Every structure is written in structure tokens, then in C-alpha cells.
Structure 1
Amino acid sequence: MKHPGRVLGVFLLTSLALWSQAFAHGVAEGDKGYIQEITGVHFIEFIYLGAKHMVTGYDHILFLLGVIFFLYKMKHIAIYVSLFALGHSTTMLAGVYFNIGINSYIIDAIIGLSVVYKALDNLGAYQRWFGFQPNMKLATLVFGFFHGFGLSSKILDYEVSPDGLLPNLLAFNIGVEIGQLLALAAILIAMGYWRRTPSFLKHAYTANVAVMSAGFMLIGYQLTGYFVS
């Protein structure tokens, strides 16, 4: 029987390679064409788009996985997830409403860096290298801001009509939070099962190396796109 840690590592690396090709900047052409054609308030449609983006957003899911990897109590999970949600909701709404455009490749590379940063934290690298533990609550909030600009860049790519923009943005944000909860629930179920097995602590290091490797792949993919585009 394969160890869960090894299976997780293979899954993360394979998924990132496939999803990078499939979604590129996360804007499906069918969704983009539909959004460009409509005007006015479309609450349900934008909820769906927000949830879809978060559930298929491998970069956000990898970061969430890193954040909750060693969190066992629901109150601690709730604190970190709330900080992340506060961060990405703030910059997503502000980025679109005030038309703050950031190059998608650069912001997605920073999001990849957030995955690497959290994986290194889970590996205890900062304590070994620098002799101190960074404030991960603050880091989660700050990286949440960058994830939010990543979301806003996707919405700006949709070229949403200004007619009904604010309600549609709020609907998209609601969808993002629904998608985040769905992804978090799936992660917690899988982690809950794995944590009950003897292999968890044995292969936690391998799993976080896999997460870190996926983050580096994401950084490399986005920076390559930036320089060749």
C-alpha cells in the first residue's frame, strides 16, 4: 500500500502541471466570452464564477493546505482562514473597483512564493536558518492581500461591464468564500484521515517538500510566461 505522504506529493506535482496548462491565468474562454456579453446584476452567475475559480485555483488550494497542515484545533483553523479571507477579499474588491492592474504573471509568481514560504515554515526552516519564528498570522494576512490581487487580475481579464459592477463583485467574493470552504472541507477530511495513520508524522516532511516544489514550479511557470509573453 502506498504511503499517503508519497501519494500526496505525486498528486500535487501532477495536478500543478495539468492545471497550469488547463487554466493558465484562470480565465476560461467560455466564461470570459459570456461575461463580456452581459450587463447588469447577475448575482448567481458571479457566485458560480467565484466558487469555480477558488475550487480550481491550485495556487490558493496549495497555500490553504500549507496553512492548515499542522493546525489541529478548529478555532486555530478558523483564525488563519479568516485572516486569509480578509486579506484576499479586501484587495480583490479594491483592485477591481479602483481598476488597480497588476501583471498577472508577476502576481501569480508571488502567490507561488507564498506557497513556498508556508511550506518552508512547516519544515521549520526559519528557526534553523535564522533562529526565529515569523509571525504566521501576519504572513497569512499579507499573502492574502497578494492572493486577492491575483483574484482581481482574473476579474479584470473578464472585462466586466461597469453596469452592476459592485453587486457582481460582491457576488464573486461570496462565491470565492464558498469555494474556499468547499476546498477547505475536502482538505480537512483528507488530512483528518491521514493524521490518524502512523505515516503522518513520518511523511509530513515529504509532503511539505512536495508543496514547496509545487510552489517553485508555479513561480517558474509564471516567470517564464512573463519573460516570453
Structure 2
Amino acid sequence: MRATSEKQAFSRVFGRRAFGIILAFCLASVAVSTSAHFLLNLNVRILHVDHLADGLRVHLRTPMPYLVAGKIGPVRADGLPEPAPFTSNALEDGVVAHFVNFDQLRPNATNLGELAQAGFEFELNGKRMPGTVEKVHLYRVGSQPEFATLDEAHASFNTIANIPENPPKLYVGDAVVDVVLRYDTGTPVRSYTVSSNLNPGLPDQEFTANLILDYGPGGAKVFRSRGLMLEPVEISRSSLSAVGTFILEGVRHILEGLDHVLFIVCLVVGAARLRSLLWRVTGFTLGHSVTLAVGFFGFVPSGAWFVPAIEAGIALSIIYAGAIAIRPSRVRGENERSTFVVTCAIGLLHGLGFSFVLQNILQVTSPNIWQSLLAFNVGVELGQLAIVLAVWPFFRLLRHTNFTIWRVAQSGTAAGCIVVATIWTVERIGLIVENVG
């Protein structure tokens, strides 16, 4: 009797704490921006690395703020900070605005390229390769030429860089800089590392999308790195190494996207048996795999309302999955086939969410596009599996320990997810109305 009593006491404490932790996680999700999952305002830096007989030539595209934002000086007597190189500033509605200073650029635009050369470090056998600036072009966002392949990068520099005498005002945040850098080593380079020491202090800079396309013997290899690249990225001719960067990105994407996390949590806690769980996860996988490719290649509406509509649909899918989890098993009926169809349809929505982010990193014309897409999708599946493995054993243990506590934790977790998703739904429908209007 004493052992049974202690077991029941343990079950009550274990159940309460488990329920509290999961519910707190769900409610904390409310604080996350409703559009945080899609990260459509990602800043992208692209590096095309061409292998030469005696070194490397790099075609770099970067938003201008990455080069200059960290070089703003102290505040002067007039209340304005000392401008960064190649910029000027002024107060606009009481806020400091930064502009491209064409007067500084006009004498020798390659000086702007020196900031890029100093900010990106290419190392061979642990030693930094000396680099020189060959060309610099500057564009207003939206006017820059295509830059997805090495041929497009070459073509973008075929025109003469023209700094107008009386240029229109251009905010630094609306400027894109293209730079050609030459690294002389005297011998061919097979593998190397690349990193950046630029830390501009920009909002969401940890989500910076870095795409490194290496054109060595045997064809192009595409590498993906997120953030400021303060830690060196290993570039080699290994296909597995390149694919691994996209697998990692897929894993990070689903684990950091609370929309997907909450949906999968609801799928898991609502599955009474392993067979039911497999039907649900399989349907979701098939659905999002299809629209990941469809959305990436642009076979979707292009209206401003479409992304918020998909976001709202994903939030509604969490509400649906949560409601199914709360219903008693005898009502649910364990109809695996119907569950499979529904989760497959919902997966179509989530796949579009994956594709929107990937589309901001890769272009349709990028080399090895199918390889990168497949690797990203594999990463998504691994991230999904990680969530399942973290949640399913936990709830199974709770169910076998104390059925009542498991039922409370199951319903409470699903209810918390529904609350979060309802708030998201209302906010996202508001965005749809704004974009339609």
C-alpha cells in the first residue's frame, strides 16, 4: 500500500510539472511575432567563388548596411553621429537617417570594396589569403541585376559602374553592393574556409542568409550558412559537406518555426497509438514535400495577401489538430485513413511556409537546385522527427504512469496550443484584410 501511495504521489507531482512546462511553452509562444516563422525580410549575402590556376576570384553581393553600419562614429555636438564611410546622415522626423554619400564614392568606388575585402576572411591552411578589390558596383534595391549563377555574376559586372553627378537620395538600407575580390595564392585552391568579421548590429542579423557557391573542378557546390559567419565555414569539394549545410538549415527552420512545432505537438499528443501517429506524420510529410517544391518554383499566387493567408491557414491547422487531440478516443474513432488525408492536406499549407523561406535564400536558376531542395526537405524531416521523439515517449510514459494525469496534460497542452493559434489567426486575418485593402 505504501509503495502504491508513493507512486500515485509521484504521478501527481510529475503530471502537474509536465503540464505546467508544456503549457508555459505554448503561452510563451504568443510573444513571438506572427510572421516570425517566414522571415521574409531576410538579408541575403551571396558569394560566388571561382577557382583559378593561381587562386580564387570572388563575386560578392551584400546589402550595404553590413559594410558600414558597424562603423558609425560617436555623437557630435550637433546631435548626429559621425557618419560611417561613404555615408551621410540627417534627422528625419526626429530619427537619424543614413544616406549613401556619392561624393565620397565618385573619386574611387573601389574604396567601398575595401570594406568588403577587410570584412570577409578567406583562409588557406589556417592562413588568411591576401585579397585585392577589382570592381565595385552599387545599386538601389530592386534595380540590381540577377546574381544567382556565376554567369549572371559575371554579366552584372560587364557594365561600367556609373556614379551620377546629381544622384537621387538613396538610403543606405536601400543599397546593394557588388564586389569582385581577387585572392592570389600562386597555386590552385581546393579547400578553404570563409568567415566574416562584420558585426553591424542590425535587427535580426542572426537570421542573415549566406549562400556560398563554389565553382571548383567537378562542378558547383552550394553551401548555406546562417548568421554573421563569425565562425569559419569549411568549403571543400565534398558533396556531402555542401548538402549537410542545407540539411542543417531544414532542421533549424522547423525547430525555430513555432507554427510547425505546435502543430506537430498537437499531432503527437492526439495520437493514442503508434500506428495512428505514423499515419498522421506520414500524411503531413507527403503534403509539405509537394508544396515545398511547388511554392519554391513560384507556382502559387503572387498577391500580397497570399503569404498572410497561408500563415492564417497554418494557425487554423494548429487549432484543428488541438481540437482533435482534446476529443475523447471513443469519439475520435481512430480512423487512420481520414486522418491521413486531413494531415496530408494540412501539410500542403506548411510546405508553402517552408518554400517561402527557401525562396529568399536560393533562386530557381541556382546550381544544384534539386539537390539543395532535397537536402532542405531532409532537414525538415529530421527536425520533425526530433519533435516526435521528444514528445511521444514523454506522453506515453505519462499515460502508463497515471491515465488521469495524462488525459489532463494532453487536453491542457492542446488547449494551450489552440489559444496561441487563435491569437495568431486573428492577427493574420487582419494582415490579409490590410493587404487586400
Superposition TM-score tier, normalisation by shorter sequence: 0.7 to 0.9
| SS of residue in 2 equivalent to 1:158 | coil
CA distance in 2, matches of 1:31, 1:46: 15
1:34 aligns with 2:184: no
How far 1:113 moved relative to its partner?
A: 0.3
Q: What residue in structure 1 maps to residue 381 of structure 2?
A: 177
CA distance in 2, matches of 1:85, 1:4: 28
Q: Larger Cα Rg: Structure 1 or Structure 2?
A: 2
Contact 1:63–1:114, Cα closer than 8 Å, also in 2: yes
| SS of residue in 2 equivalent to 1:163 | coil
1:9 is aligned, of 13, 23, 26, to 23
1:157 aligns with 2:333: no
What aligned pairs does 1:205-216 form with structure 2 within 5 A after superposition?
Answer: 205-216=411-422
Q: What residue in structure 2 maps to residue 148 of structure 1?
A: 351
Q: What residue in structure 1 maps to residue 340 of structure 2?
A: 137
How far 1:226 moved relative to its partner?
A: 4.4
| SS of residue in 2 equivalent to 1:23 | coil
1:60 aligns with 2:260: yes
In structure 2, relative to structure 1, the CA distance for the partners of 1:187 and 1:19 (3 Å cut) is farther
How far 1:160 moved relative to its partner?
A: 3.1
Higher strand share: 2
How far 1:104 moved relative to its partner?
A: 2.3
Which stretches in structure 1 are left out of the alignment for 5+ residues?
Answer: none
Bigger shift: 145-154 or 73-82? 73-82
CA distance in 2, matches of 1:216, 1:189: 28
| SS of residue in 2 equivalent to 1:100 | coil
Name the aligned partner's letter for residue 380 of structure 2: V
Name the aligned partner's letter for residue 215 of structure 1: A
Name the aligned partner's letter for residue 212 of structure 1: I
| SS of residue in 1 equivalent to 2:366 | coil
In structure 2, relative to structure 1, the CA distance for the partners of 1:185 and 1:10 (3 Å cut) is same
CA distance in 2, matches of 1:99, 1:38: 26
Name the aligned partner's letter for residue 55 of structure 1: L
Contact 1:95–1:101, Cα closer than 8 Å, also in 2: no
How far 1:17 moved relative to its partner?
A: 2.6
| SS of residue in 2 equivalent to 1:218 | helix
Contact 1:84–1:143, Cα closer than 8 Å, also in 2: yes
Q: What residue in structure 2 maps to residue 189 of structure 1?
A: 393
1:23 aligns with 2:23: no
1:120 aligns with 2:323: yes
1:108 aligns with 2:311: yes
1:70 aligns with 2:270: yes
CA distance in 2, matches of 1:46, 1:100: 23
Cα deviation code 1:191-227 (max 9, x no counterpart): 2333234311134332221121121122233334445
CA distance in 1, matches of 2:213, 2:376: 15
Contact 2:244–2:375, Cα closer than 8 Å, also in 1: yes
Which stretches in structure 2 are left out of the alignment for 5+ residues?
Answer: 1-12, 44-205, 215-219, 224-242
| SS of residue in 2 equivalent to 1:34 | strand
2:246 is aligned, of 46, 55, 65, to 46
Bigger shift: 195-204 or 81-90? 195-204
How far 1:22 moved relative to its partner?
A: 9.3
How far 1:68 moved relative to its partner?
A: 1.9
How far 1:48 moved relative to its partner?
A: 1.3
Bigger shift: 108-117 or 72-81? 72-81
In structure 2, relative to structure 1, the CA distance for the partners of 1:157 and 1:99 (3 Å cut) is farther
In structure 2, relative to structure 1, the CA distance for the partners of 1:213 and 1:191 (3 Å cut) is same
Name the aligned partner's letter for residue 387 of structure 2: A
CA distance in 2, matches of 1:206, 1:141: 25
Contact 1:97–1:166, Cα closer than 8 Å, also in 2: no
How far 1:142 moved relative to its partner?
A: 0.4
Higher helix share: 1
TM-score normalised to the size of structure 1? 0.82
1:201 aligns with 2:407: yes
CA distance in 2, matches of 1:59, 1:172: 18
Residue identity (%): 21
Contact 2:283–2:344, Cα closer than 8 Å, also in 1: yes
RMSD: 2.9
How far 1:26 moved relative to its partner?
A: 3.9
| SS of residue in 1 equivalent to 2:360 | helix
Equivalent residues, number: 222
Q: What residue in structure 2 maps to residue 219 of structure 1?
A: 425
TM-score normalised to the size of structure 2? 0.46
Contact 2:289–2:377, Cα closer than 8 Å, also in 1: yes
CA distance in 2, matches of 1:46, 1:8: 30
In structure 2, relative to structure 1, the CA distance for the partners of 1:32 and 1:105 (3 Å cut) is farther
Q: What residue in structure 2 maps to residue 81 of structure 1?
A: 281
